[in-house]
Amino acid sequence: MCERSFDLKEYVLDCLGESCPESLVNTENRLKELEAGDVLIVQVDHMCAMKNLPDWARKKGYHVEIEEIDDGEWEIIIEKTN
């Protein structure tokens, strides 16, 4: 029998105070470092980033969820799929 060890990780990227495209560039660069299956939680407080980041990530084929954690602050949860 073959056993597989899954060492998937969760990372947090603090983009609070950053506007687009800075938060998008930082997210893209961080995702390049991650393995498929890893999760990146991007913290944003800029409405433009809250809209653009999920749209971009979905176009890349990543699974995306958005959670509002406070008034005007969101966590964009991106699972790297490839």
- What's the confidence (pLDDT) of residue 6? 54
Per-residue pLDDT tens digits for 6-15 = 567 999 999 9
- The model's pLDDT over 67-77, given as tens digits with 9 standing for 90+, comes to 999 999 999 99
Q: How confident is the model at residue 1 (pLDDT cuts 50, 70, 90)?
A: very low
Domains of the chain: 10-79 (3.30.110.40)
Are the CB atoms for 32 and 61 separated by under 8 Å? no
**Residue ranges of E strands in the chain:** 10-14, 39-44, 63-70, 73-79
User: Using one digit for the tens of pLDDT, what is the confidence trace for 18-46?
Assistant: 988 999 999 999 999 999 999 999 999 99
**What amino acid positions are annotated as catalytic residues?**
20
In the block, residue with structure tokens 């983009």:
15
pTM: 0.87
